Structure 1
Amino acid sequence: MTPAAGPGNRTATNLSHAQRERLAYIEFRLYFTGALGRADLINRFGIAPAAATRDLALYRELAPNNIRFDGSTKLYRFGVAFVPMFHRSSHRALIALSHGFGEGDDAEPAALLACETPALLCPPPLDTLATVCRAIKARQPLAIRYKSASSEETERVIVPFALVDTGMRWHVRAFDRKRQSFREFVLTRIDVLNAIEEEALLHERPEHDNQWSRTIDLELVPHPRLDCPEIVSRDYGITDGTLHLRVRAAVAGYMLLRWGVDCSPDHNLTDEQYRLWLHNPMTLYGVENARLAPGYQEPACPATSSQAIN
């Protein structure tokens, strides 16, 4: 969230971090719920009533058109000439609206509006997640016991470097010393044995993971079978007929599966969930998890196509 300059004598950029956080919260509540009171600031930040009053007065000084005081309810309300002073993405706004603002403990934060989001059916154990994250930050190997879908439980050493959200489960991208290759491991299948006090070797680092380093261009269009492609274009923010996305090869298959994109060369998937079609399926050539992309077919002679080279 980037603060912009306000119209008053002071600007949000020369305030302390704590002040900016409180002013951003004031603006968020005004913008998305239409009103807030001193109690909202007091409860959110644990500040005294006098401090809450000063913050509200400061916001009014910086952005007088954004806020008005309703004496009948003792609430501050959305201003009719509102112009946001802080820049925030829709993605971050939706997270705050649906999950609330965390309080730093085990209490479940309350959503600011009625909202339903898909539940993560099996979140990873917190201690496993914390241990993996520490190893990522320290660039250290982990000795683990892992249960894969196709084999018995095995012990191995991995060098983790990134978390991956597939939309269904959380994985960790890591170098696997047993297989001598980079791959994903499902966090719920990991039992950490111990952290190894050494640094990752040069060839085990993410810059040597070709699938992670490689980015591919996806050209998504409304599915040709649909009678009203303009509706799909509006749903997905397609403004010129094609939605262009760049993703890592290491996650492309997961993303296309999650988004329900028909990746068949002749757009032959007709089920209702396929509202988008991958216009350039050859871009998936050489992507290790392309098999996860709905309808994807490995080209017979990919080397003859200019699209096969990325």
Structure 2
Amino acid sequence: MPPIPRAQLERLSYIDFRLYFLGELRRSDLVARFGMGPAGATRDIAQYREAAPGNLDFDGTRKLYLPSATFRPLFEHAPQRVLSALSQGFGQGAAEDLSPLLRCEIPTALSRPRMDVLAPVTRAIHCGKAVRLVYHSLSGPPGERELVPFALVDSGVRWHVRAFDRKSAEFRDFVLTRIESPEVLADSAVGPRESAEHDVQWSRIVELELLPHPSHARPDVIRRDYDMPDGVLRIRVRAANAGYMLRRWNVDCSPDLSLRGPEYALGLRDPLVLYGAANALLAPGYRPPAPASPADKLPGSRQRDDTAASSR
């Protein structure tokens, strides 16, 4: 399509979405979604028809548009955003304006951060500032900390923030629901070593190869579930998040894939890729490699020792 204003591009994408996923479109859908007049909705539908000729059929009886038999989506629709829109609605407006587009059931979130906690933390991330807060740790009484946060992470169970902790001088994860009274420190300078670029666990990318679990009765179905036509699902994750992801999906990370149970549909081909990942112990069945014994030396080292012994 030729360049068009972003606002109109969003409206054309919405037309494409409704035709593709809901199978119908009315002018009133655009009017309600974007707060526009009927004449503007008519112009957008005409623009869509021009950009994607043959995509629309008009049902004069019901006064609505239908996808044609030769319909092809004009836009690429990301699966996660599509499912979010269908189950929770569109837009960034007030919560009462959002409603599911289809009957959907999604898991209840048991752990939700308070907005008066989340907002200062996200402001600090966006502005590159530190934040002072009280943190409730499992390992001790509540205490004041200064953090330099740089990312939010959804572990699948709860949200946490990745941050540099000035108290321990380390990069760590802090659960948002355990944070109290955060205050953005507008005048506190953030040093270079406190930035994400110096977080080794965050910067390191771990490449995982997941397989259908060898004990699963229907590996062919597992290959379909996870779109692995060659039998392997390859994903890249940050070392800081690898343990969370593997636990969330119940991936068997034992050395011999020995875990049993219907929850283990996937296995990690090579658990050694997790070596050095700080939260690898969260991965089901993961066992760090045993420390090398004095006899377990590299061949080159053994040869040098033997040479030295023979020359004495």
Alignment TM-score > 0.5, same fold: yes
Q: Secondary structure at the match of 2:91?
A: coil
C-alpha separation between the residues in 2 aligned to 1:50 and 1:288?
Answer: 58
Partner of 2:52: 63
**Partner in structure 2 of residue 5 of structure 1:** none
Amino acid at match of 1:143: R
Return the match for 1:293 from 259, 280, 283: 283
In 1, are the aligned partners of 2:207 and 2:235 still within 8 Å (CA)?
yes
How far 1:198 sits from its partner (Å)? 2.3
User: Is the 8 Å Cα contact of residues 121 and 182 (structure 2) preserved in structure 1?
Assistant: no
2:236 equivalent in structure 1 = 246
Contact 1:285/1:302, CA 8 A, preserved across alignment: no
Label 1:155 to 1:201 Cα distance change in 2 as closer, same or farther (>3 A).
Answer: same
Over residues 52-71 of structure 1, what are the superposed CA-to-partner deviations in whole Å (9 max), with x where a residue is unaligned? Answer: 11111111121121111100
**1:270 paired residue number:** 260
Q: Deviations over 1:98-157 (max 9, x none)?
A: 111025113151111111111221211112111111101111111110001221111111
2:67 — aligned with what? 78
| Per-residue deviation, residues 163-216 of structure 1 (Å, max 9, x unmatched) | 000011000000001111000000011013422122311111000000000011
- Post-superposition offset of 1:302: 7.0
Kindly tell me: are residues 226 and 96 of structure 1, through their superposed partners in 2, closer, same or farther at Cα, counting changes over 3 Å? same
Q: Which runs of 4+ in 1 moved over 4 A?
A: 302-306
SS at match of 1:39: helix
Kindly indicate whether residue 221 of structure 2 is the aligned counterpart of residue 231 of structure 1.
Answer: yes
SS in 2 for 1:14: coil
Q: Which residue of 1 aligns with 2:192?
A: 202
Note closer, same or farther for the CA distance 1:45–1:302 as it changes in structure 2 (3 Å cut). farther
2:303 is aligned to none
Aligned pairs, how many?
Answer: 295
Which whole-Å CA distance do the structure 1 matches of 2:270 and 2:249 have between them? 16
Aligned residue for 1:255?
245
2:39 pairs with one of 38, 42, 50: 50
1:193-247 CA-partner distances (Å, limit 9, x unpaired) = 4221223111110000000000111110000001221110000011111111110
Query: Structure 2 CA distance, aligned partners of 1:246 and 1:286?
Result: 16
Unaligned runs of 5+ in 2: 299-312
Q: What does 1:128-167 align with in structure 2 at a 5 Å threshold?
A: 128-167=117-156
In 1, the alpha carbon distance for the partners of 2:160 and 2:131 equals: 15
- Aligned counterparts of 1:15 and 1:153: Cα–Cα separation in 2: 54
- Whichever residue aligns with residue 184 of structure 2, its letter is A
2:83 to 85, 88, 94: 94
Q: Secondary structure at the match of 2:188?
A: coil
Task: State which drifts further: 192-201 or 175-184.
Answer: 192-201
Q: Given residue 214 of structure 1, which amino acid in structure 2 is its aligned partner?
A: R
Measured in 2, the distance between the counterparts of 1:245 and 1:265 equals 19
Q: Distance in 2 between matches of 1:194 and 1:163?
A: 17
CA distance in 1, matches of 2:72, 2:124: 43
Distance 2:245 2:182 in 1: 31
| Unpaired stretches in structure 1, ≥5 consecutive residues | 1-10
Root-mean-square deviation (CA, aligned residues, Å) is 1.7
Residues 1:188 and 1:302: Cα distance change in structure 2 (over 3 Å): farther
1:139 and 1:199 in contact (8 A); partners too = no
